[in-house]
Homo-oligomer: A and B are copies of this chain.
Amino acid sequence: MSLLNLKPINKDRTLRANVVEQLREAIISGELAPGTKLVESQLSALLGVSRGPLREAIRQLVDQGLIESIPYTGTYVANITVKAIQELYSFRTELEQFAFKLVWENRGEDFRKELNSQLEKLTAAIKSNNKEAAIFEELELHNVVYKHCGHELLQDSWHRLRGRLHLYFTLHQQAHNRTGPYIDAHDKYVTLALGDDLDAMLNHVTEHMQQGYNKVENLVSDIRSHLP
């Protein structure tokens, strides 16, 4: 049995899990704009689900920072603020540096393969001008690093950020309708990630994040001007 490469089956086929997935998708794709009020009765009808599982799903998304809830008043798609963006990027910098420190001595052939393969997918998506895919593949590229750390807590933490990050990317893309100069940046990222200089990589992470931050920095005002 050398082909014992089976993924753990997802037994979580509860309604709640499906609702989480659907809502998450709707939010990070921009379909549900930030600040939108989520009325339980409407949503439950829309999803063909009772309010019970819906509420449980909402609780989960609140913990992921995608939804804000005020008791007896309402639940809203998380609003975007400058501070939230700053925090996300500074925090993410620390997380990713930690990830590289962890993975550095354990980078094997599979790590290298996955990273390169993911870079190709990202490049292809950008070249074909498929913006949604480009966003997804960029996040997947970074995800490779976290996945190979073998650090569940770190991975969970990253997954928590990922949703909001995805949302910011989407909103930025919708506001400017251009993908930006991603390719070169990620070429260097991967090269360094497969190289021998950890410090150089860590510095590049800081720099890489700073670039990303600069891109979405004006998101708040951009959005206000685009969707008045």
Contact = CB atoms under 8 A, between A and B. Distances in A.
A212 B161 CA distance: 28
Contacts of A59: 16, 56, 59-60
B63 A153 contact: no
A180 to B, nearest CB: 24
Given A55-B56, A59-B59, A63-B63, A152 B87 contact: yes
Interface in A137-185: 151-154, 156-157, 161
A55 B59 CA distance: 10
Q: Give the size range of A's interface with the partner.
A: 20 to 34
A35 interface: no
Contacts of A17: 71
Contact of A11 (B12, B14, B70): B70
Given A55-B56, A56-B56, A14 B151 contact: no
Interface in A85-133: 87-88, 90-91, 94-95, 98, 102
Interface of A: 11-14, 16-17, 52, 55-56, 59-60, 63-65, 70-72, 83-84, 87-88, 90-91, 94-95, 98, 102, 151-154, 156-157, 161
Given A11-B70, A60-B63, A157-B157, 11 more contacts: A12-B71, A14-B72, A52-B55, A56-B56, A59-B59, A59-B60, A63-B63, A84-B152, A84-B153, A90-B151, A91-B157
